[in-house]
Structure 1
């Protein structure tokens, strides 16, 4: 279904592998379309609880395919706008998945590849990975990835890296907030698994609501309207079956039903 992707399922976890290893998983129109479609499909699949984004080969993603960039440079402004809209839509679709997302980063995460890492909720990077917003070196700007990168590292750090296009190692990426966890290359998958297991302990409806809450609250002044919005959000969740089950499980000192459901279908189900 998706020529540039491979999707692997392990119980409630789906790993979305970008699969253009010979080109370091560089973006082209097909990869953008495939990622968009796959994200929509995974979001609609209630059996999927966590989505991991990863890259086959030596790199996570080296950004835009240079042949695609060359073609875009010869296209009309209208065509370029449509191209950019498709990329922006893909990034937003990934960022607004109802399920938790983890970027599993190794090798290069450059330009749009860094944008993918920033658009995911969590980022785990192998030592030796390299990050950069390299667009100005090609005479362009990191426009469509900017909302996610700035959300991750802040405007002050972005003002440096958007203009210098310096390459960052994993330590620096961690220091400025782009990366949540560092791991030796041989420990990358186990670190991703640790976070996945932790995410599976949470209620899926609550996690989707938490993601929506962050989007609604981040950067807002603490106003009467914001306070009212947050009050309505928590009140609505308290009335759900998931919240009643979560509280009952805590008081009865047992695992909530959503964890038992995972354990039934996966031998490596989350442990409380």
Structure 2
């Protein structure tokens, strides 16, 4: 069985690779747990100064996988709170990581996958990449990621993206200030590596850590309170009839008539 997450270190750069290509790198509880553990490993690794998050195959992450969505229908409220807290832990681990995290997005980053990209410090994407917070289309709510998105884009854009659930191009993501760079697929690997190397060679690791902390804590001082509320919302929504209808229709590949 392949590891769901790969970890390597070279030139003071840790590369964390999502490795579920057969499932389009979709998220499930095991992958979420392994990603969290791997980011903690990178944070404690004295050989690491900068972290790159990427994925194998042509998709960054397609969001939650089908088996995971199916299981959510049968969870108790307490199980859904625990599950939501696990996603919150992954996102906050990356957000508060004492090292700069660069996302290398190739292909689609949808729902939870888009959330992963959103919380990284610097984001590169290819012109072919598509983004989208598509949760509302299946009766779900992008609760946890909304707490982070509002710090990257203005309220008008946040409402448009979260309420419509539309997918949008890398160029649009750049216009929205959701990502930093659009780079050709043939060049993105070297471009991201060079960017990371420049950070390693040109900046103090302690200064990078403190600057990241300063920005995060002054930009979003009420983040923890917002996230606690979002976890409860996440769990409650999963008990709604709309969620059950949306997931059932999605799993059966049926058109949802809202």
TM-score by length of 2: 0.82
Query: What whole-Å deviation, never above 9, does each CA across 1:181-205 have from its counterpart, x for those lacking one?
Result: 1111101112212311221111000
Q: Where in structure 2 are there 5+ consecutive unaligned residues? A: 222-258
Q: Tell me, in whole angstroms, the C-alpha distance in 1 between the residues paired with 2:152 and 2:8.
A: 27
Deviation of 1:35 after TM superposition, in Å, equals 0.7
Task: Please say which structure displays the higher CA radius of gyration.
Answer: 1
**Aligned length, in residue pairs:** 219
1:21 alignment partner in structure 2: 21
Work out whether residues 3 and 34 of structure 1, in 8 Å CA contact, stay in contact via their aligned partners in 2. Answer: no
**Structure 1 segments of 4+ aligned residues over 6 angstroms from their partners:** none
Work out whether residues 151 and 220 of structure 2, in 8 Å CA contact, stay in contact via their aligned partners in 1. Answer: no
Q: Which has the higher contact order (CA 8 A, sep 6+)?
A: 2
Structure 2 counterparts to residues 136-215 of structure 1, below 5 A:
136-200=136-200, 201-215=202-216
1:263 alignment partner in structure 2: none
Q: Tell me, in whole angstroms, the C-alpha distance in 2 between the residues paired with 1:131 and 1:79.
A: 29
Q: Where in structure 1 are there 5+ consecutive unaligned residues? A: 221-272
Q: Tell me, in whole angstroms, the C-alpha distance in 1 between the residues paired with 2:118 and 2:66.
A: 22
Residue aligned with 2:85, SS = helix
2:41 alignment partner in structure 1: 41
Q: Tell me, in whole angstroms, the C-alpha distance in 2 between the residues paired with 1:142 and 1:198.
A: 34
Deviation of 1:216 after TM superposition, in Å, equals 2.3
Deviation of 1:219 after TM superposition, in Å, equals 5.5
Query: What whole-Å deviation, never above 9, does each CA across 1:160-185 have from its counterpart, x for those lacking one?
Result: 11111111101000000111011111
Residue aligned with 1:194, SS = helix
1:106 alignment partner in structure 2: 106
Coordinate RMSD, CA, aligned: 1.3
Q: Is residue 2:65 matched to residue 1:65?
A: yes
2:3 alignment partner in structure 1: 3
